[in-house]
Amino acid sequence: MKKLTLLFLFTLILISCGDDIESNTPSIQGEVNGVFFRSNSSTAYLNADGSVTLTGNTGLDVITLKTASTDIGQYELGLGSQSEAGYQVNGLTTYATGDTGEGLIEITAFTESKLSGEFYFDAINGDTLTISKGSFFDVPLTNGTIDGGDFSCTDAALTTVVAFQAYSAVTVDDENYESVCVAYQAALESQITLCGDDSGELAAELESLDCVVE
């Protein structure tokens, strides 16, 4: 069973941001099923494959946006897309676009290692979570990369978020299940090494994974 209790991953993202876009401070904001949200911390992480993952932490809720590159333009979400988005509610349940959701992320500016743009999407986890009127402003890139020799605990946590989203979007019948599962295992192992695991929840999640399809 795919566990969705990874709250502590996101408490590691502690880069302080301001109150709102109007005051020209980095943030990610929008509406979740019609209710306004705004991040109180936000970061962007450049992945080894050239994709970029934006993460906004609103307390117990976390939003993630991944685009296939940092190029200015539109990135469709859903079936067959290399881009994806997700939203974790109260640190317990993660909704993701995967192959069954849909939406769009648009990067409108990428200057001085900061990303701005707009987004909307429907994320799925049994039922549907609708994120609308989304925007991100001057979200800063972190300086750690997987192959750059400066991979931090925060980087490891962000990598686990992305790997978990990919894992939650596949089933054991998918031809890429094993590779996605192994990537999630590696991300968990990396986070345990760099961040520790006092609660034992990361180790328990790792132990529950069975990546070998008979």
Query: Which of 140, 165, 183 lies at the terminal end of a domain, its last residue?
Result: 140
Q: Does the pLDDT at position 71 exceed 70?
A: yes
135 and 167 housed in the same domain: no
Structural contact between residues 32 and 129, judged by C-beta atoms closer than 8 angstroms = yes
108-148 pLDDT tens trace? 998 768 899 999 999 999 999 999 999 999 998 875 433 33
- pTM for the model: 0.59
Q: Residue 119: inside a domain, yes or no?
A: yes
Name the residue range of residue 33's domain.
7-140
125 and 197 housed in the same domain: no
Could you tell me which residues are beta bridge partners of residue 89? 93
Choose the most confident range, by mean pLDDT, from 29-43, 157-171, 190-204. Answer: 29-43
Q: Residue 48: inside a domain, yes or no?
A: yes
2-33 pLDDT tens trace? 444 444 444 433 333 333 444 457 889 999 99
Name the 3-class secondary structure at 68. Answer: coil
113 and 40 housed in the same domain: yes
173 and 116 housed in the same domain: no
Q: Residue 146: inside a domain, yes or no?
A: no
Structural contact between residues 1 and 208, judged by C-beta atoms closer than 8 angstroms = yes
Q: Residue 1: inside a domain, yes or no?
A: no
Q: Which amino acid is at 159?
A: T
What is the sign of the dihedral through the CA atoms of 109, 115, 116 and 117? positive
Query: Which of 117, 140, 163 lies at the terminal end of a domain, its last residue?
Result: 140
Q: How many CB atoms lie within 10 A of CB 133?
A: 12
Q: Buried b / exposed e across 165-189, counting CB within 10 Å, b at 16+?
A: bbbbbbeeeeeebeebbebbbebbe
Q: Residue 148: inside a domain, yes or no?
A: no
171 and 89 housed in the same domain: no
Pull the structure tokens for residue 66: 């991944």
pLDDT number for residue 181: 86
27 and 49 housed in the same domain: yes
184-201 pLDDT tens trace? 888 888 788 878 888 888
Question: Given its phi and psi angles, is residue 123 left (phi above 0), alpha (psi -120 to 50 degrees) or beta?
Answer: beta
21 and 75 housed in the same domain: yes
100 and 190 housed in the same domain: no
pLDDT number for residue 24: 53
Q: Residue 2: inside a domain, yes or no?
A: no
Query: Which of 116, 140, 164 lies at the terminal end of a domain, its last residue?
Result: 140
Give the helix, strand, coil percentages of the chain, each rounded to 5.
25, 35, 40
Pull the structure tokens for residue 69: 């590159």
Q: Residue 187: inside a domain, yes or no?
A: yes
109 and 181 housed in the same domain: no
